[in-house]
Amino acid sequence: MFDCIHGRRSIPGTADLRLARAGFTLIELLLVIAIIGIMSTLIITTVTNAAADARLTLCFQQQVTLQDALNAWIAEQSSGTNSLASARSNYTAANSATAWLGLLGSNYLHGSTYQHFLSNSTGAQIRSEAMVKSGKSLKFTTWNATNYPTVEWN
């Protein structure tokens, strides 16, 4: 018998076998689905890690912002007729996160930044939303005659 479509001779009954093999087997389909699943897992993991890394970068930037604000407050408090000792006593009198943030206030931090820290901070922990999601917090260190106050990870 002659196959008009492919231009070759065919054995009777084999055309049905070729048509039956035209699809994918169950094993082939499962293998493709498994590969797609593995690739999507890798992509999701990469995106999730990128979000966590971005939050940590934001936390570090916020630490620097608070340290800059603290440095500006100390510079202003100890300039002119004021002394470094009076600035130290004002700083030491504040003994909670909200009190230290109150020293900086909106004079040294942008108003919305100040409110953001204030709304997320509790006790001695200074936090932002990114820090809450990352499980991190900041604290102001003590200031005595032998050291300078800093903003550190808690």
Helix (H) or strand (E) holding 117: helix 111-120
In this structure, the number of other CB atoms found within 10 A of the CB of residue 3 comes to: 13
Using CB atoms within 10 A of its CB, is residue 120 exposed (0-12), middle (13-18) or buried (19+)? middle
Number of structural domains in the chain = 1
pLDDT tens for 58-67 read 999 999 999 9
pLDDT tens for 99-127 read 999 999 879 999 899 999 999 998 889 99
Examine residue 88 and state whether it is found in any structural domain, yes or no.
yes
Examine residue 2 and state whether it is found in any structural domain, yes or no.
no
Task: Provide the pLDDT confidence category of residue 8 given band limits of 50, 70 and 90.
Answer: low
Examine residue 1 and state whether it is found in any structural domain, yes or no.
no
Helix (H) or strand (E) holding 96: none
Task: Provide the pLDDT confidence category of residue 9 given band limits of 50, 70 and 90.
Answer: low
Examine residue 4 and state whether it is found in any structural domain, yes or no.
no
pLDDT of amino acid 10: 57
The separation between CA 57 and the C-alpha centre of its own chain, rounded to angstroms, equals 7
Examine residue 84 and state whether it is found in any structural domain, yes or no.
yes
Mean pLDDT for the chain? Answer: 86
Task: Provide the pLDDT confidence category of residue 137 given band limits of 50, 70 and 90.
Answer: very high
pLDDT tens for 30-48 read 999 999 999 999 999 888 8
Task: Provide the pLDDT confidence category of residue 4 given band limits of 50, 70 and 90.
Answer: low
Q: What are phi and psi of 73, to 5 degrees?
A: -65, -45
Secondary structure class of 80 (helix, strand, coil)? coil
User: Whole-angstrom Cα distance, residue 130 to residue 28?
Assistant: 45
Domain of 55, in residue numbers: 9-153
